[in-house]
Chains A and B, each alone.
Chain A
Amino acid sequence: MPVQKQVRMVADLNKCLGCHTCTMACKTMWTDRNKGQMHMYWNNVETRPGKGYPKDWETQGGWFNTKDKNSILLASINEGYGTPWEYNYDQVLKTNGGDASESVSESVLTPSPRPSGNAYASNWDEDVGEGTFPNSYYFYLPRICNHCSDPPCVDACPRQAVYKRKEDGIVLVDQKRCRGYRYCIKGCPYKKIYYNPEEKISQKCIFCYPRIEQHKGNLCATQCVGRIHHVGFADDTASGAYKLVNIWKVALRLHPEFKTEPNVFYIPPLSPPVYSPQLTEDQRIPVEVLANLFGDTSDQTHDQRVERIKEIFRIIRTEREKVAKGERSELIDILIPHSEADRIKV
């Protein structure tokens, strides 16, 4: 699918705080219009290891590993995504502009509707992670649609309602053409297309294309408190995103074995040393765990991925040490951007 340009984003997982500001920026901007959008988080932040959002999306499958569209699961909102609930903030926190005479009527925050059945939510297992004290570990994984170079969601739609824009490689669902068949949801192995049961059509991350057209960054990137994102076009050699992926080669794809050539890249997270019974050389987040998630290409073996991640860690450590000694490092300069223009070049 030839495109003239392709937007890319690199997320440095060493810097993600798990604050969900990106999620909320996206939600406020795009998925706050009707009831059918409430369960959707075009950008979500999930704790890893964990079930993710939608629940167990990695095992649901997609176009790459099954030819029979009908055998791929479509999760329900309540059990897969989470029925949104409200809290009784009014009763518990009401101060009416500091007026203490307006006393609170409840002391406990309760969700309504209460989660029922096999309920779930986008951050249901937040901060749970794995391992035992003092070596428990987790990290955050912010996810949007990967605006893949070989997008199975596009192939899955019999109506050509899902398409990839030539000018920037952004993948969109034509809201007028979509008939709510949900084949694209089955096709996408990242489960990054959502179904709006009110409008009876599918909806997804639009990489804030109206902003990209004005050379502004997508909101998850511009609003990020940790400033973890680098956004640029794949062939723009001057952009930080290009340098991290192509020159420094410290960014990897999430599940490249899905064969979609995702355009969101991640710098895998380093972690504190394992303690047993003294501090050791090993990192708390096992490299094997990271290699289950990240790699360069679809044909790489697990061992090759492990080696690549170790190599990336060596590069980052070496460059960090340089800076600690007062020397300059281009890599660290990119990773610690001073202005939005340093990170976002569209």
Chain B
Amino acid sequence: MHNGNDIFFFYQWNAATENNSVADYPIFADAIAMEIPLFTEESILCMGAMDKPVNIIFWRADLPVPENIVAGGMGTPQISPDEASQNIRHYQKWKDGIWDVIITRPMAAGSENQVSFVRGKNYRIAFAYWKGGAYAERGGHKIVSEWQYLSIR
């Protein structure tokens, strides 16, 4: 959903427990991410490639704000260092075994480290989900989707 200026992604899923902390060695938080090729039409699902980098929006339940990440291959994801691209806001609530998470961002890219969402354009998008708590999922230990399509009308 968008209002011409900001784009909103709404996620809802079942989670028996609210894992929103990483405050001790054995504690891991729930997380989700979406990945979009940064300037090519498509890229490699696993963190993109050097010449086809990807832009990732990463939400983890313990983080103050979601992170804007860029990656150019396995093991390379990095939080984009410029402040302008760290423009993502969110709303999160866990209640009765359900997570509600809304992630929002200006449609126009804050910098070259971010995808611009343009009306009438189609994007490839992939999703990832990490189950925290006792499942201790993090890093490559996650569930990933295939490439999907995102059309901005």
Interface-located stretch among A143-151, A178-186, A205-213, A277-285: A178-186
Contact A158 B140 (CB under 8 A): yes
The residue on A at minimum CB distance from B138 is A181
When the two chains form their complex, are residues B75 and A160 in contact, meaning their CB atoms are under 8 A apart?
Answer: yes
Contact in complex: B139, A159 (CB < 8 Å): yes
Select one of A73, A75, A77, A181 contacting B139, CB under 8 A.
A181
Interface residues on B, range: 10 to 19
A75–B75 CB distance below 8 A: no
Contact B24 A76 (CB under 8 A): yes
Q: Which residues of A contact B26 (CB under 8 A)?
A: 73-76
Which of B62, B78, B139 has the largest number of chain A CB atoms within 10 A?
A: B139
B interface footprint on A190-221 (CB within 8 Å = 1, 0 otherwise): 00000101001000000000000000000000
Which A residues from 142 to 180 make CB contacts under 8 A with B? Answer: 158-160, 177, 179-180
8 A Cβ contacts from A61-119 to B: 70, 73-78, 80-81
**In contact, B22 and A74 (Cβ under 8 angstroms):** no
When C-beta atoms are compared, the residue in chain B nearest to A179 turns out to be B139
| B25 touches A (CB below 8 Å) | yes
Q: Is the CB of A77 within 8 A of B24?
A: yes
Residues of A contacting B140 with CB < 8 Å? 158
Range, interface on chain A? 20 to 34
- Tell yes or no: B23 within 8 A of A by CB: yes
A180 touches B75 (CB 8 A): no
CB-CB under 8 A from A185, the residues of chain B are: 25
In the complex the two chains form, what is the Cα distance from A195 to B62 in whole Å?
Answer: 16
Report B133-153 CB contacts with A as 1/0, cut-off 8 Å.
Answer: 000101111000000000000
A159 near B25 with CB under 8 A, answer no
Q: Which residues of A contact B77 (CB under 8 A)?
A: 159
Annotate A223-265 by CB proximity to B: 1 below 8 A, 0 otherwise.
Answer: 0000000000000000000000000000000000000000000
Complex Cα spacing A77 to B25, Å: 7
* Complex contacts, B141 vs chain A, CB 8 Å: 70
* Complex interface bits, B69-105 against A, C-beta within 8 A gives 1, otherwise 0: 0000011011000000000000000000000000000
B75 touches A182 (CB 8 A): no
Chain B's closest residue to A183 (CB) is B139
Query: What is the bound-complex CA distance between A81 and B78, given in angstroms?
Result: 31
Closest Cβ of chain B to A236, distance in Å, is 35
CB–CB B25/A75 < 8 A:
yes
Q: Which residues of B contact A180 (CB under 8 A)?
A: 22, 138
Question: What's the minimum C-beta distance from B134 to chain A, rounded to whole angstroms?
Answer: 10
Specify which chain A residues have a CB less than 8 angstroms from the CB of B138 in the assembled complex: 179-182
Contacts of B25 in A (CB 8 A): 74-77, 80-81, 182, 185, 195
Give the residues from 18 to 57 in chain B that come closer than 8 angstroms, CB to CB, to chain A: 22-26
CB neighbours of A74 from chain B (8 A): 25-26, 136
Closest chain A residue to B28 by CB distance? A182
Instruction: Check B136 against A70 for contact (C-beta < 8 Å).
Output: yes
Residues from chain A with Cβ under 8 Å of B75 in the complex: 158-160
Find chain B residues with CB under 8 A from A179 CB. Answer: 138-139
A190 to B24, CA, bound (A): 19
What residue in chain A is nearest B139 (Cβ atoms)? A181
B70 → chain A closest CB, angstroms: 14
* Contact of A197 (CB < 8 Å), options: B24, B78, B136, B139: B24
A197 contacts across to B, CB distance below 8 A:
22-24
Q: Report the minimal beta-carbon distance from B66 to chain A, rounded to whole angstroms.
A: 14
The 6 nearest A-B residue pairs measured at CB: A74-B25, A74-B26, A181-B139, A197-B23, A181-B138, A195-B25
B residues with a Cβ closer than 8 A to A are 22-26, 62, 74-75, 77-78, 136, 138-141
A77-B24, A80-B25, A185-B25 known; 9 new pairs, CB 8 Å cut-off, are: A75-B26, A76-B26, A158-B75, A158-B140, A159-B77, A159-B139, A179-B139, A197-B22, A200-B22
Q: List 29 A-B contacts (CB under 8 A).
A: A70-B136, A70-B141, A73-B26, A75-B26, A76-B24, A76-B25, A76-B26, A77-B25, A78-B24, A80-B25, A81-B25, A158-B75, A158-B140, A159-B75, A159-B139, A160-B75, A180-B22, A180-B138, A181-B138, A181-B139, A182-B25, A182-B138, A183-B139, A185-B25, A195-B24, A197-B23, A197-B24, A200-B22, A200-B62
